[in-house]
Structure 1
Amino acid sequence: MTSTLPQAASGLRPAWVTGARVASWLRWVHTSVSGGTETRTALAPYDALPTVPVPVSTVADLQAAVVAARDAQPAWSALPYGARAEVMLRFHDLLLERQDEVMDLIQWEMGKARFHAWQEVLQVANLARHYSRHGETYLKTRKVRGVIPVVTSAKEVRVPKGVVGFISPWNYPFYLGVGDLIPALLAGNTAVGKADPQTPLTLLWARALLAEAGLPEHVWEVVAGDGPTLGQALIEEVDYLCFTGSTATGRIVAQRAARRLIGASLELGGKNPLIVRADAKLDVAARGAVEAAFANTGQMCIHIERVIVHQDVYDDFVAVLLAATGAQRIGQSFDFGHDVGSLASQAQLEKVVAHVDDAVAKGASVLAGGRARPDLGPYVYEPTVLADVTEEMDLCLGETFGPVVALYRAADDEDAIAMANRGRQGLSASIFSKDIAAAEALAPRIRAGSVNINDGASLAAGTVEAGMGGMGESGLGRRHGAEGIKRFTESQTVVSSKIGPVGPPPGMSVERFIALGNGQLKLLRRLRAR
């Protein structure tokens, strides 16, 4: 599954990305008919040349998009769940048929290796199928006992929030742009999503494919343009916000959402640890560390940035890790010939270089990598392994978000847990050990929303029936599983009485009614009921 990629006027680009195809995607950007003609063009990591100009939405455009989505919401939510699910299942099937197209776009816009682009397809397809099949069960009405047995009844129902706003980043433009959207739409909401300026075409391709699958025109509106301006405006207009991004921006989002008293889910940054116990299979642990540290060129919120190794196996592990790191195939191609691709932008490259240079200047040792590779691409940086990292270095507890991992020695499990819990973030963690029971006993002591045992990062992320999110400064709320769809709904209690208002019936004194009530309380206590 590869693409022919001739050199075009706009740089190295997929041959099938024609003007007509681009026009069919750009129609989904919400801009006013009488508005300006401003556009914004990203630079492709492959060659630092422009991709495609995308119209810039204004705040007025965004407000109009929310109005259109709000108008469309009652009809969409009135459809049976199964009818909405059929749209998502058709999307699932179309996605599998045309996955090469979106993998091309992800690589072109973001620079990752093709296998990691395919992982986005895998995740979105799994989520579309899972929530189409099981979302209705997650939202099922729950009957509870009424306040007075027999004559009263009660139930909890789930109702959609209304219009949900989505702010998703460039590092996983398809998975993070669409994966959360799927349960929100299936729950009966409509949506307005902000396309990231680096990767707008991927999101617009997804919108076009959903339209082909049968999604009505205004159920998912897309705006594109300046992040801070549109992001702030989005929070002011929607009924709930789903945000994925940095901890610093997440704080701002949370404050603005709180000011409006609307809910928000936030998946933020991580400085994720991987623990290698003394009994671990070192080749397995090294493979897991390499996959989790360098996947997506390290631009992944759950990727491993710290490897904590028991001192008894440290030297042996380092040797195996360096061999596995050295075997990584680095480069850019629209096929499966490389393991590690490019960073997404000059800004990302500069951040990685700054972190590594600062660490080296303060005494860190470079065991592998540690340099940019302009011969392979303008933003390519080698997979890097550092030792002797100390707290005064920026990358010690600061998120690097690149293909860099630091090694630490631990005296025992207690020491390893203490090091893993350093800092204020808590997104993902890993433990490698032959003794799975012992590792599972350690897991709850690590401050992390997910703990992978004998895997670097992908097991928890791929388990779509379980929630995924962070603790501490790594976020609020969960995607995936029951919570991943319930967050887009409100819980509403509906109670009914067969006898009218509850209180003293005609002819009964208040004193007699209270005595009966007290007798009921005592009886329930003796019966151990409720």
Structure 2
Amino acid sequence: MTRTTASRPLLERITVAEGEGRAIQDAATREVIGHAPVHTTEDLDRAIAAARAAQPAWAALGHAERSRILRAIADDIEAEAEDLARLLSREQGKPLNGPNARFEVGACAVWTRNAADTPLEPEVVFEAGASRAEVHYDPLGVVAAIGPWNWPMMITVWQIAPSLRMGNTVVVKPSEHTPLSVLALVDVFARHLPSGVVAAVSGDREVGAAIAGHEGVDKVMFTGSTATGRRIVESSAQNLARLTLELGGNDAGIVLPDTDVAAIAQDLFWGIFINTGQTCASLKRLYVHESQYEQVVQALADLAASTPMGHGLDEANVLGPLQNETQFQIVSRLVDDARARGARIVAGGHPAPALGPLFFEATVVADIDDAAPLVVEEQFGPVIPVLAYTDVEEAVRRANDSAQGLGASVWSQDLDAAKAVAARLQAGTVWINQHGGLNPQVPFGGVKASGYGQEFGVAGLKAVAAPKVISY
């Protein structure tokens, strides 16, 4: 948790000696990259205490100065972008190219600048003669940022940049699977900030369990599973911390009749297979009208078979491994179950051990029942079940038949028809002729079991602030 400078090589700044930490492996080869520090609940207590002590002075700097510092941090992220991307590629598994490691690091700079540049002025909510009521937004205090392993750097920036802009201090808890990427990112932030304003606590499940209900925490931002999100809600009863929860999804897409399949095929493919399918808001169930069903299935199968997969540092690859053994086993189980049920495996369908121990072929599954676990559960891997429908009413009903509601998409040449379907889908975001595209100015969040609270833009700044009404 000590502050460092950029003069030493990246891994030296964030790793510890072999006997002092936990080995972190290359996701593709399982070779050891370095050793992450293993912090304790006592380290967490110290980090939160330091954050509380630093917060008043940080808030007192004002929006203009905090924004200036965030812009400098964004510049520094760009200056170290290649080293950060190569570390991310090895630890998480995503290739350098395509919508992957370099893309993620670039997004970190973009979202940091956006947090700095988004205006948030006091809002006049009532005015009559000399009477007036304004809503101002004050810092909350200490924000706990608990991140996932699939987009570890980008999602951490989504949590910490707006928090810092609004005058909060932040304690970051990275995933145990990808701590080095987050430690490297926090290192860049910390070198521009007063001591205590941001810190990363790289601990085990005990540390994770302690952070949400910690008496020194005022806000928890969490991205991860619904099961863990429920435990965070329970823990927050201890300190009444405010919550933003992004709990993943089982996103549905609906291809309407008469869609130009050739025109949408690439966008459809990457809506599914971005980050090798390991994205909360990627497309995970695809409903296609029976008139175009085989055409869509074959288009996706052709792309799955031809898209390069392999080690992320190979510039030719754009698909990588599953990040960890647990996720590899989940994907394998779901595909094996689909095969046993008689589903048609049109592309892929098997592990790819020649590439590495955690690689699984890009897989397209057709003729599968809605009740199959591959359809009901979030697979979080390079697999898509494609399901036929006969009328739009049926497609909407089946798409909404899920406990989760993060994202959804509608694909059509008829914008009015697509908008009419989008209005009836139960999701926090519905995209038309795209899936998963995010904009730092556009609010993002889920409904149902996909969590609550919004991030990005003005809504994201308000989510890490305490509204105060001043009436006179």
Q: Same fold (TM over 0.5)?
A: yes
Instruction: Give the distance between the partners of 1:336 and 1:468, measured in 2 at CA.
Output: 31
Is the CA contact 1:420–1:446 (under 8 Å) kept in the aligned structure 2? yes
- Measured on the aligned residues, the alpha-carbon RMSD in Å equals 1.9
Query: 1:286 deviation in Å?
Result: 2.3
Map of 2:13 onto structure 1: 24
Is the CA contact 1:46–1:332 (under 8 Å) kept in the aligned structure 2? yes
Query: 1:97 deviation in Å?
Result: 2.3
Map of 1:48 onto structure 2: 30
Map of 1:166 onto structure 2: 145
Query: 1:288 deviation in Å?
Result: 2.0
Change in 2 beyond 3 A, CA 1:78/1:26: farther
Map of 1:474 onto structure 2: 450
Is the CA contact 1:95–1:121 (under 8 Å) kept in the aligned structure 2? yes
Task: List runs of 5+ in structure 1 lacking aligned partners.
Answer: 1-16, 28-36, 497-530
Query: 1:19 deviation in Å?
Result: 8.3
2:368 aligns with one of 370, 375, 389: 389
Instruction: Give the distance between the partners of 1:101 and 1:217, measured in 2 at CA.
Output: 25
2:427 aligns with one of 448, 459, 466: 448
- The CA deviation string for residues 140-198 of structure 1, in whole angstroms up to 9 with x for no partner, is 1123446x842x44322111110000100111111011222100100000000012121
SS state of the match for residue 264, structure 1?
A: strand
Instruction: Give the distance between the partners of 1:51 and 1:103, measured in 2 at CA.
Output: 14
Amino acid paired to 2:73:
F
Change in 2 beyond 3 A, CA 1:233/1:210: closer
Map of 1:111 onto structure 2: 93
Query: 1:88 deviation in Å?
Result: 1.1
Query: 1:257 deviation in Å?
Result: 1.4
Map of 2:75 onto structure 1: 93
Map of 1:80 onto structure 2: 62
2:123 aligns with one of 128, 142, 145: 142
SS state of the match for residue 402, structure 1?
A: coil
Amino acid paired to 2:106:
L
2:462 aligns with one of 464, 486, 500: 486
Pairs within 5 Å for 1:117-156: 117-134=101-118, 137-138=119-120, 140-145=121-126, 149-150=129-130, 152-156=131-135
Instruction: Give the distance between the partners of 2:324 and 2:126, measured in 1 at CA.
Output: 57
Amino acid paired to 2:153:
F
Map of 2:390 onto structure 1: 411
Instruction: Give the distance between the partners of 1:391 and 1:445, measured in 2 at CA.
Output: 20
1:226 aligns with one of 167, 179, 204: 204
Change in 2 beyond 3 A, CA 1:284/1:336: farther
Is the CA contact 2:95–2:312 (under 8 Å) kept in the aligned structure 1? yes
Instruction: Give the distance between the partners of 2:312 and 2:411, measured in 1 at CA.
Output: 32
Aligned residues: 462
SS state of the match for residue 469, structure 2?
A: strand
Query: 1:439 deviation in Å?
Result: 0.7
Map of 1:297 onto structure 2: 276
Task: List runs of 5+ in structure 2 lacking aligned partners.
Answer: 1-5
Map of 1:309 onto structure 2: 288
Change in 2 beyond 3 A, CA 1:19/1:209: closer
Query: 1:405 deviation in Å?
Result: 0.3
Is the CA contact 1:40–1:225 (under 8 Å) kept in the aligned structure 2? no
2:306 aligns with one of 327, 332, 336: 327
Is the CA contact 2:41–2:210 (under 8 Å) kept in the aligned structure 1? no
Change in 2 beyond 3 A, CA 1:254/1:133: same
Map of 2:169 onto structure 1: 190
SS state of the match for residue 387, structure 2?
A: strand
Query: 1:130 deviation in Å?
Result: 1.6
1:284 aligns with 2:263: yes
TM-score for both structures, normalised by structure 1: 0.84
Instruction: Give the distance between the partners of 2:265 and 2:237, measured in 1 at CA.
Output: 43
Change in 2 beyond 3 A, CA 1:183/1:349: same
Query: 1:402 deviation in Å?
Result: 0.4
Query: 1:336 deviation in Å?
Result: 3.1
Whichever of the two has the greater Rg, that structure is 1
Instruction: Give the distance between the partners of 2:466 and 2:237, measured in 1 at CA.
Output: 17
Instruction: Give the distance between the partners of 2:464 and 2:132, measured in 1 at CA.
Output: 26
Amino acid paired to 2:35:
P
Query: 1:454 deviation in Å?
Result: 0.9
Instruction: Give the distance between the partners of 1:20 and 1:449, measured in 2 at CA.
Output: 41
Change in 2 beyond 3 A, CA 1:261/1:455: same
Query: 1:127 deviation in Å?
Result: 1.3
Is the CA contact 2:24–2:32 (under 8 Å) kept in the aligned structure 1? yes
- The CA deviation string for residues 307-342 of structure 1, in whole angstroms up to 9 with x for no partner, is 110111112222222222222111114143112111
Instruction: Give the distance between the partners of 1:320 and 1:395, measured in 2 at CA.
Output: 20
- The CA deviation string for residues 3-60 of structure 1, in whole angstroms up to 9 with x for no partner, is xxxxxxxxxxxxxx99854332259xxxxxxxxx752222211211222112211111
Instruction: Give the distance between the partners of 1:257 and 1:444, measured in 2 at CA.
Output: 33
Amino acid paired to 1:45:
A
1:432 aligns with one of 400, 407, 411: 411
The more displaced of 331-340 and 406-415 is 331-340
Change in 2 beyond 3 A, CA 1:18/1:225: farther
Amino acid paired to 1:130:
N
Instruction: Give the distance between the partners of 1:478 and 1:307, measured in 2 at CA.
Output: 26
Is the CA contact 1:99–1:121 (under 8 Å) kept in the aligned structure 2? yes
Instruction: Give the distance between the partners of 2:132 and 2:294, measured in 1 at CA.
Output: 66
Map of 1:209 onto structure 2: 188
SS state of the match for residue 321, structure 2?
A: coil
Instruction: Give the distance between the partners of 1:20 and 1:325, measured in 2 at CA.
Output: 37
TM-score for both structures, normalised by structure 2: 0.94
Query: 1:388 deviation in Å?
Result: 2.3
Instruction: Give the distance between the partners of 1:331 and 1:244, measured in 2 at CA.
Output: 27
Instruction: Give the distance between the partners of 2:268 and 2:206, measured in 1 at CA.
Output: 35
Instruction: Give the distance between the partners of 1:175 and 1:426, measured in 2 at CA.
Output: 21
Map of 2:3 onto structure 1: none
Instruction: Give the distance between the partners of 2:8 and 2:125, measured in 1 at CA.
Output: 57
